[in-house]
Amino acid sequence: NAGVTQTPKFRILKIGQSMTLQCTQDMNHNYMYWYRQDPGMGLKLIYYSVGAGITDKGEVPNGYNVSRSTTEDFPLRLELAAPSQTSVYFCASSYSTSGSRTGELFFGEGSRLTVL
Amino acid sequence: QKEVEQNSGPLSVPEGAIASLNCTYSDRGSQSFFWYRQYSGKSPELIMSIYSNGDKEDGRFTAQLNKASQYVSLLIRDSQPSDSATYLCAVNNGANSKLTFGKGITLSVRP
């Protein structure tokens, strides 16, 4: 079972470049999320989506954009990369809020991004 | 700003001991609470969830919730070296399954 798949796993960008982190899930989850994790800082929510065509900002959305054209895919776009965006990025998905599975996130393996 | 606070670590315990990990949260409207384990260089994985006051046991793990004190904890009995990881507390206030995570505490179990 693939679960949540992220690509690329590693990437080095130069300041000002743009790129897209890809995320796809095969569990038919409606909810998808992008988090970033900096050393010793836990996980910060960048953007999330409650279904195809619906996205919303999290805690730290500046410098990022997302789209959700299908249930399976939730790409994260970095425009004009800055050193402050150096981080590990995790995509996650979950069941809907109804029922006892609320808050059970399934994470991808992460994408380590360095901006130089 | 909803906050989730965890003890500053790292925490070191000998093999076979009980490890106690603590977490407090600021939003009284929070409805569900989670502990995720993250091995170094890996992604977080859910190990415990708790929704009502009291204790919930799953094998060597026990989650404890006290909503009046806004406090949730994780006890790991008979700690093993394989339990060495960072443990993240997460809280959900019910809105779109958006979790607020604590900074995590790193547990080291000494053989």
Asked if A102 lies within 8 A of B94 by C-beta distance, the reply is yes
Confidence of residue B19 (pLDDT cuts 50, 70, 90): very high
Distances (CA, A) of B41 to A90, B71, B110: 12, 28, 20
Q: How much is the pLDDT for B43? A: 96
Question: Counting Cβ atoms within 10 Å, is residue A70 exposed (0-12), middle (13-18) or buried (19+)?
Answer: exposed
Residues 25 through 54 of chain A touching chain B, CB cutoff 8 Å: 31, 33, 35, 40-45, 48, 50
Quick one: which H or E segment has residue A36?
Answer: strand A31-37
- Which residues in B lie closer than 8 A to residue A43 (C-beta atoms)? 44, 88, 99, 101
CA angle B47, B104, B85 (to 5 degrees): 60
DSSP result, B16-50: TSPEEEEEEES-TT--EEEEEEE-TTS--EEEEEE
CA angle B9, A105, B105 (to 5 degrees): 0
Query: Tokens 């080291």 correspond to what residue?
Result: B108
Asked if A110 lies within 8 A of B43 by C-beta distance, the reply is yes
The number of CA neighbours under 13 Å toward the Cβ of B28 is 2
**Residue B86 CA from chain centroid, whole number:** 9
Is it the case that residue B87 has pLDDT exceeding 60? yes
pLDDT in tens, A38-77: 987 889 999 999 899 999 999 999 999 999 999 999 999 9
